[in-house]
Structure 1
Amino acid sequence: MSYIFLPVILVIGLVILFSGIFIVRQQSAAIVERFGKFQRISNSGLHLKIPIFDNIAGRINLKVQQLDVLIETKTKDNVFVKLKISVQFQVVRSNVYDAFYKLESPSDQITSYVFDVVRAEVPKMRLDDVFERKDDIAIAVNRELNQAMQDYGYDIIKTLVTDIDPDVEVKAAMNRINAAERDKVAAEYVAEADRIKIVAKARAEAESKRLQGQGIADQRREIARGLEESVDVLNNVGINSQEASALIVVTQHYDTLQAIGEETNSNLILLPNSPQAGSDMLNNMVASFSASNQIGEAMKKQNEQQERDKKRESTTRKNKRNNKSDLEE
């Protein structure tokens, strides 16, 4: 009979022996209890425990963990917005006991604090401020969590606001506002470009007119110089100035007729076109200049007479005032 129970006893002994051996993985810790009472904390590696008496109550993850919390809250301008808060936390190696025994569910605890802080901070901000000051929200959450979770053996590594999602209608309105703002800026740039074109065109036209006027002035100056030289040449051969002027007018008249005749497609007709017309035009111009000079001289004399009359009247009034003052004295 002893030979029959020997294998059974051997198997039971081996089972008990192997049940006293356990392995703890890297970046984790095991809580060993004896009869339900805390015995020790076992770190990574191979460990022994007393079979039946000792048991592993639980294992603690020592890696950096991340918890994503989705919160819906209202801003100061009454816009509902969803925020995604990512909390990175880690169990402090020296506080594994507190992390295991003091806190039942760290994720629920962290989530509650995140809700509390976010719903206290966001309603103080407008929607645009929420986007601009998301780092302030993350700092406030991180500060509150660190103060609360240190007592439970947890260290808050980083808190991030990873997403801000307003209501669909609000996002559509914001997109329309941005599109309108961009259209406004584009219109301003187009208007400025048109203004620059108009100014440049006006400056170019002004410069063109100035150069054109300068060219006409130079042309007329050269024509006058040429006429003067022509008159001098004719005077040297015994032709007086009036005859020379008439000869030049007749010559220019025939030059003009020749230029018109060379243009086959021209519809220009010069009236009158007789040589006598040039002489009449010259006589009329001389008469006009004479009449203009006479009128100018007459107006000048009239103005001088008016000035003298005014001075005489002013002197008379002054003398009357002086005589009146003498009589009163």
Structure 2
Amino acid sequence: MDISLIIFLFLGIFVFLSSFFTVKQQTSVIIERFGKFLSVRNSGLQLKIPLIDRIAGRVNLKIQQLDVIIETKTKDNVFVKLKVSVQFMVVKETVYDAFYKLEYPHDQITSYVFDVVRAEVPKLKLDDVFERKDDIAIAVKRELNEAMTTYGYTIINTLVTDIDPDIQVKNAMNRINAADREKTVAEFEAEAQRIRIVAKAQAEAESKKLQGQGIADQRREIARGLVESVDVLNKVGINSQEASALIVVTQHYDTLQAIGADTNSNLILLPNSPQAGSDMLNNMVASFSASNQIGETMKNQPKRTKKKDDHTSTDFNPSDTSNPE
């Protein structure tokens, strides 16, 4: 077989095969004929004229993301770095504009992001930048949509994903937050301490109240018991004085017995003799008698009377023999 025929056949097969090409999903292909735009081919098996038509380029129709880091200054003169993530895509119907009108879409998007962020952030203080980052993202998206729609791009979303102040500012903010938290802790601890003190005081007051009531009830019962004891003794022919003496002596020895039952007690009861109970009773009776006599004497004393008229007042005095004029 002639060599030239083999070469011709080989070239024919190559040209035939080059007439076919495939386009991937979510991709568009620009076909040019002699350097002029011919058509846009979408996913699948496509056909072109060899040596006449050529693939000028492929356009990605998937959603893409571009991260832009901008350093700018806030209203209170704090330098911050913001990371803005822009999600965009080429509209299938405007592949021609995206391919021919804009050569470097990433640079174009970056420029608009810089312009918007550096116009918005200097209006805000640092704290407001954190609180209103969504407003910044909305402003970036609005500006990019107006600009990139002309070039066949649509902006899906814009996000301010990071706000990074200067390291010294971050340290100062951390110290402020730590101080605020310590202040809050101190306030809670003080309130807890106050509640404990109030509760303890209330408990002590209630305890004293109950203790006082207990002592009063105890004394009332003791007095009732003594009255009943005296009544019982009177019924068997023992007079009140003798009954009182008997009760005092009994209580005296009961006290001595209670003290003696405690081996660790260092208490010494004075006086401590068999005559002690009788002496205490005599002293008590003598005191009561003296008190009664004083009371009766004060009741029987003559009262001083005063005579008052319009001009003078005179106190009656039996020892006064003067003759008033």
Amino acid at match of 1:70: I
Q: Relative to structure 1, is the Cα distance of residues 14 and 289 closer, same or farther in structure 2, using a 3 angstrom cutoff? A: same
Q: CA deviation at 1:19?
A: 2.9
Q: CA deviation at 1:289?
A: 4.9
* Partner Cα separation in structure 2 for residue 77 and residue 294 of structure 1: 94
**Bigger shift: residues 181-190 or 247-256:** 181-190
CA deviation profile, 1:196-237 (whole Å, cap 9, x unmatched): 333332233222222222221111111101110111122223
Q: How does 1:103-118 map to 2 (within 5 A)?
A: 103-118=102-117
Identify the residue that residue 138 of structure 2 maps to in structure 1: 139
Identify the residue that residue 53 of structure 2 maps to in structure 1: 54
Q: How does 1:31-110 map to 2 (within 5 A)?
A: 31-110=30-109
**Bigger shift: residues 87-96 or 292-301:** 292-301
Identify the residue that residue 272 of structure 1 maps to in structure 2: 271
* Partner Cα separation in structure 1 for residue 215 and residue 68 of structure 2: 84
Q: How does 1:181-196 map to 2 (within 5 A)?
A: 181-196=180-195
Amino acid at match of 1:74: K
When the two structures are superposed, what TM-score results if normalisation uses the length of structure 1?
A: 0.84
**Bigger shift: residues 44-53 or 195-204:** 195-204
**Bigger shift: residues 293-302 or 183-192:** 293-302
Q: What's the secondary structure of 2:57's corresponding residue?
A: strand
Identify the residue that residue 204 of structure 2 maps to in structure 1: 205
Q: How does 1:224-243 map to 2 (within 5 A)?
A: 224-243=223-242
* Partner Cα separation in structure 1 for residue 27 and residue 297 of structure 2: 122
* Partner Cα separation in structure 1 for residue 119 and residue 248 of structure 2: 101
Identify the residue that residue 325 of structure 1 maps to in structure 2: none
* Partner Cα separation in structure 2 for residue 13 and residue 297 of structure 1: 156
**Bigger shift: residues 135-144 or 207-216:** 207-216
Q: Relative to structure 1, is the Cα distance of residues 285 and 316 closer, same or farther in structure 2, using a 3 angstrom cutoff? A: farther
CA deviation profile, 1:232-270 (whole Å, cap 9, x unmatched): 122223333233222222221222222222222221111
Identify the residue that residue 123 of structure 1 maps to in structure 2: 122
The 8 Å contact of residues 67 and 88 in structure 1, kept in 2 or not, is answered as: yes
* Partner Cα separation in structure 1 for residue 30 and residue 300 of structure 2: 129
Q: What's the secondary structure of 1:268's corresponding residue?
A: coil
Q: Name the count of aligned residue pairs.
A: 310
Q: What's the secondary structure of 1:82's corresponding residue?
A: strand
Q: CA deviation at 1:124?
A: 1.7
> 1:260 aligned to 2:255?
no
Q: What's the secondary structure of 1:147's corresponding residue?
A: helix
Q: What's the secondary structure of 1:162's corresponding residue?
A: strand
The 8 Å contact of residues 253 and 275 in structure 1, kept in 2 or not, is answered as: no
* Partner Cα separation in structure 2 for residue 198 and residue 179 of structure 1: 28
Identify the residue that residue 168 of structure 1 maps to in structure 2: 167
Q: Relative to structure 1, is the Cα distance of residues 206 and 105 closer, same or farther in structure 2, using a 3 angstrom cutoff? A: same
Q: CA deviation at 1:41?
A: 0.9
* Partner Cα separation in structure 1 for residue 43 and residue 292 of structure 2: 124
> 1:154 aligned to 2:150?
no
Amino acid at match of 2:44: G
Q: Relative to structure 1, is the Cα distance of residues 295 and 134 closer, same or farther in structure 2, using a 3 angstrom cutoff? A: farther
* Partner Cα separation in structure 2 for residue 160 and residue 299 of structure 1: 102
When the two structures are superposed, what TM-score results if normalisation uses the length of structure 2?
A: 0.85
Identify the residue that residue 314 of structure 2 maps to in structure 1: none
Q: What's the secondary structure of 2:87's corresponding residue?
A: strand
Amino acid at match of 1:251: T
Q: CA deviation at 1:299?
A: 8.9
Amino acid at match of 1:95: T
Q: Relative to structure 1, is the Cα distance of residues 299 and 201 closer, same or farther in structure 2, using a 3 angstrom cutoff? A: farther
Q: CA deviation at 1:108?
A: 0.6
Q: Relative to structure 1, is the Cα distance of residues 58 and 206 closer, same or farther in structure 2, using a 3 angstrom cutoff? A: same
Amino acid at match of 2:195: I
* Partner Cα separation in structure 2 for residue 191 and residue 31 of structure 1: 75
Identify the residue that residue 10 of structure 1 maps to in structure 2: 9
* Partner Cα separation in structure 2 for residue 254 and residue 237 of structure 1: 23
Q: CA deviation at 1:290?
A: 5.8
The list of structure 1 runs, each at least 4 consecutive aligned residues, that deviate by more than 4 angstroms after superposition, is 286-302
CA RMSD of superposed structures (Å): 2.8
The 8 Å contact of residues 79 and 127 in structure 1, kept in 2 or not, is answered as: yes
Q: CA deviation at 1:36?
A: 1.7
Where does the alignment leave 5 or more consecutive residues of structure 2 unmatched? 312-325
Where does the alignment leave 5 or more consecutive residues of structure 1 unmatched? 318-329
Q: Relative to structure 1, is the Cα distance of residues 300 and 99 closer, same or farther in structure 2, using a 3 angstrom cutoff? A: farther
